[in-house]
Amino acid sequence: MNQADFLQRMEENKGILYKIANAYCRNAGDREDLIQEMIYELWKSGERFDDHFKFSTWMYRIALNVAISFYRKASRSGLRVDFEASLSPDLEAGLSLEVQTQADSGEELEERIALLQRFIGELGEMDKALMILYLEEKPYREIAEILGITETNVATKLSRIRDRLKQQFLTAGHGDAGLQKNKIL
Amino acid sequence: MSTDEFQKLWKAYDAKLEKTSQMNQRLFSDLQQQKTKSVLQGLVATRVFGIVIGGMYLALLVLALRYVWSQPVMAVSIGVFIGCTVLAMVAYIRDIVVVRGLSYADSVVAAQEKLAGLRSSIIGILRFSWIQLPFWATFFVSNALLRNGGPRFLAIEIPIVLFLVAVAIFLFRNITVANAQKKRWVAGMIRGSGAKSVSRAIELLKEIEDFKKEA
């Protein structure tokens, strides 16, 4: 993959990096480093990229692997911050690699997105990866390929995580009715 | 797979993200100058540092062994120190080989298993390092001391050595990956050895184990 191809593909898929970085790294300061590290590893691995492979599968694998490793690195140096404490600034993060929300969004929608992010943040490292891939609407077969587990396992685990998340939404007072009210359903 | 409410919420979140970063040429010059320090580079750096320090220590031990060659107790003790140091260095070299073969393009489970295994390999090194404990009570026992020490020396030395043997066996048996999560003192010893990421790695290994299990 040459530089131009790489840049173009990164430009097209950079949303993936932002979302994974947001899910795994709640500290705004560290998130820029995480995205840089993902891009670095993608570029480094690009030389070995096999065109028979699906690009997104390859990209998700590298981004998730870097994010999971980075999470531990941040924890080790005590940089990981409490999720609750960093939740609001995250939605308005001002980074050089910025992830900003638009100001005109509804307050309740913001709240639900924040809740979803919080629940994802509370998941284990592997469950979090699984949930992100599911939310990205990846087919089970591709999720299984990215994570290295069977499709049956993907289906079973997803079902459990979704049930748990639904329960958490209900407990937080945001059931299906609330979602419909906000025209999300 | 049908789109459910979480996926719709995620789409709404995606739409609200403003991705302002440009993937441009400057990014490339940063990458080529390797301003980004990867986790794997960090792992290799600690192992290389360990090998360099271990190599210097080993050289000193070999010199000492030549000097005390005619003193059996001292020679055996230093021989054990050499053996343990070599084992640790071999483990570090093996880690570097694993890092070189590790690819982030592997499946998440496979890559994280290798990475967490690398991080927890310090437990094995720590475990073996305790084998040399009793020999710290014998490395100074020269032929002259054995000849002239008499029963009083033996009455002090033998219980100390036996005690340290018991401690070494106890630690060797208890410092394990499983115990690092079950026993607080084991976790404390691992943290104290400078490997703060080990407990996180162990947690992840356990999580991966559960994750791979078919329900």
- Cβ-nearest to A62 among B27, B42, B104: B104
* Across A36-52, average pLDDT: 81
State the pLDDT confidence band at A146, using cuts at 50, 70 and 90.
Answer: very high
Confidence check: pLDDT of A90 > 50: no
| Test mutation, A107, A126, A179, chain B, max B CBs within 10 A | A126
Q: Give percent of chain A with pLDDT exceeding 90.
A: 24
- C-alpha distances in angstroms, B166 versus B16, B179, B209? 63, 19, 33
Q: What is the pLDDT of residue B17?
A: 75
Q: What is the pLDDT of residue B2?
A: 47
Check if A61 contacts B (Cβ < 8 Å): yes
- Cβ-nearest to A184 among B12, B23, B37: B12
Check if A116 contacts B (Cβ < 8 Å): yes
CB proximity list for A110: less than 8 A, separation 6 or greater? A91, A101
- HEC profile of B5-59: HHHHHHHHHHHHCEECCCCCHHHHHHHHCCCCCCHHHHHHHHHHHHHHHHHHHHH
- Contact list in B for residue A125 (CB cut-off 8 A) is 112, 204, 207
> What pLDDT, in 10s, does the model give residues B83-142?
999 999 999 999 899 888 888 888 999 998 888 888 778 788 888 889 999 999 999 999
Environment class of B7 (CB within 10 Å of its CB; exposed 0-12, middle 13-18, buried 19+): middle
